Amino acid sequence: MQMSKLAFIPSKTPPANADTINHRLLVQAGFVRQLMAGVYTYTPLGLRVLRKIENIVRQEINLLGAQEILMPALHPKANWLATGGWNDIDVLFKLKSQTNREYALGQSHEEIVTPLAKELIKSYKDLPLSLYQIQWKYRDELRSKSGILRGKEFYMKDMYSFHADQADFEKFYQITKNAYLKIFKKLNLDAKVTEASGGNFSDKISYEFMVLTDAGEDDILYCDACSYCINTEISKVKAGSPCPKCGVALKQAKASEVANVFDLGQKFSKAFNLQFVDQNNQQHYPIMGCYGIGISRIMGVIVEKNHDQNGIIWPKTISPFPAYLISLEGEEERAQKIYDTLLKNNIEVIWDDRQCSAGRKFADYDLIGLPIRLLVSKRNQDQIEWQTRTNKKAELIGSKELINRLKLEK
């Protein structure tokens, strides 16, 4: 990708209305544009990050044996009436057709996946079953703020599982929890498993995966000594109280919910009369679980957690490109050769080939925040200067070494 051809390039000034770091840096560096509160366009750079997060999630979820499908965003009213959601869920967007048919926009997909599963599940032999999708969701949020952390339109991985009994659900919940923790490790995020309320979905306790950040909208109590963590919404104790697991004083912090797990019980299987027959020919309603990961929110949270005063610091697993090649004046020809050689080796970098000052290029590199900065300048003769975004120590390397190193970064 040549910067001279990239439409959305970094801006010298931050957006006027940004209330959070992710909003400010993602707009200023050219990853997103706000259409209205809670609704964003993703630029070529932003879309690459979103796809990388999505693919890390997909890879781990596929390993669970879950099958990827894609359900619509436009839902018939009848499905939402069946569960009471039509009247009870205030964030449900509703609309009417020209002929006065009523629809909802999917804010979650239990109302669609349960009737779908009804066709697939007849007997205990069809269980367990897990289906997932990566799909845009729509919620009529009263306060859409915090950049891409709380959207009216947001991107989510939502998985739904169906089980013969509670024990089987618990087993699947444990392996999903481990997959989630693996995903967050790959994303360079420390996510705390937090007890929370079941919200609209369930009257049972749910588990949220919380990342500490002041841009978050949740308050959690957590223990530094063990893994105990609880949402203040359901906690009976306060900051400073002893941890119920290990006795150490609990701390309070703002956090953002990047994922969650709900034990749905039989609420949805009963609402849609989804039953299976067991070995003794008895009918039962399956136990259901639902498991979300906020893909677009994670992109925002990663910026909140990975930046400095000069810009974003992308973890290499989700960086839109592995490196940023800067050519100083007069070195365009040599940079072109390096860029072409990298492309031939299937390594796509950003090449800042613009006719602008070196200072502008360095500043824009820091703002965009790729892991590696490569500099082609007269002073370095036929070598290339290699520097990382976080460690300013520069090294001079040849182009063979460059290719070898970048192959390792992929």
DSSP 210-256: EEE-TT-SEEEEE-SSSS-EEETTT-SS-TTSBPTTT-PBPEEEEEE
> Given the complex with a copy of itself, which of 75 and 373 has the nearer CB atom?
75
**Smallest distance from a copy of itself to CB 133, Å:** 9
Point out which span in 28-36, 172-180, 226-234, 324-332 binds a copy of itself (CB under 8 A). Answer: 28-36
- Integer Cα distance of 318 and 54 in angstroms: 10
State phi, psi for 295 to the nearest 5 degrees.
-65, -50
Q: With contacts defined by CB under 8 A, how many residues of the chain interact with a copy of itself? A: 48
Beta-bridge mates of residue 251 = 222
Half-sphere exposure of 408 (CA within 13 A, CB side): 6
Q: Does 303 contact a copy of itself by CB under 8 A? A: no
Point out which span in 35-43, 223-231, 382-390, 399-407 binds a copy of itself (CB under 8 A). Answer: 35-43
> Given the complex with a copy of itself, which of 98 and 309 has the nearer CB atom?
98
The answer to whether 57 and 295 are in contact (CB under 8 A) is yes
Identity at 7, one-letter amino acid code: A
Q: Hey, what are 43's tokens? A: 């630029």
CA distances 258 to 45, 120, 331, Å, are 22, 30, 44
Point out which span in 137-145, 238-246, 305-313, 366-374 binds a copy of itself (CB under 8 A). Answer: 137-145
Point out which span in 111-119, 201-209, 252-260, 388-396 binds a copy of itself (CB under 8 A). Answer: 111-119
- Integer Cα distance of 101 and 76 in angstroms: 8
- Choose among 153, 121, 152: nearest CA to 136: 153
| DSSP alpha helix (H) spans, 18-43 | 21-28
- Integer Cα distance of 95 and 76 in angstroms: 10
Among 7, 279, 344, 400, binds a copy of itself (CB under 8 A): 7
Q: Does 120 contact a copy of itself by CB under 8 A? A: yes
The answer to whether 368 and 324 are in contact (CB under 8 A) is yes
Q: Does 119 contact a copy of itself by CB under 8 A? A: yes
Identity at 38, one-letter amino acid code: G
Among 17, 19, 59, 65, binds a copy of itself (CB under 8 A): 65
Among 19, 88, 90, 395, binds a copy of itself (CB under 8 A): 90
- Choose among 312, 297, 346: nearest CA to 31: 312
**Smallest distance from a copy of itself to CB 93, Å:** 6
The answer to whether 283 and 277 are in contact (CB under 8 A) is yes
Residue indicated by tokens 């919940």? 173
Point out which span in 129-137, 303-311, 337-345, 379-387 binds a copy of itself (CB under 8 A). Answer: 129-137
Residues 67 to 86 in contact with a copy of itself, rule: CB under 8 A: 67-76
CA distances 312 to 28, 154, 159, 262, Å, are 10, 21, 30, 33
**Smallest distance from a copy of itself to CB 167, Å:** 22
Q: Does 8 contact a copy of itself by CB under 8 A? A: yes
Q: Does 112 contact a copy of itself by CB under 8 A? A: yes
x/- map, 140-169, a copy of itself, by CB under 8 A = x-x---------xx----------------
Identity at 91, one-letter amino acid code: V
Q: Does 33 contact a copy of itself by CB under 8 A? A: yes
> Given the complex with a copy of itself, which of 133 and 206 has the nearer CB atom?
133
Among 129, 156, 210, 220, binds a copy of itself (CB under 8 A): 129
> Given the complex with a copy of itself, which of 184 and 272 has the nearer CB atom?
272
Q: Hey, what are 230's tokens? A: 């609880």
**Smallest distance from a copy of itself to CB 66, Å:** 10
Contact set with a copy of itself (CB under 8 A): 5-8, 33, 35-36, 39-44, 46-47, 50, 65, 67-76, 90-91, 93-95, 97-99, 105, 112, 116, 119-120, 129, 131, 136, 138, 140, 142, 152-153
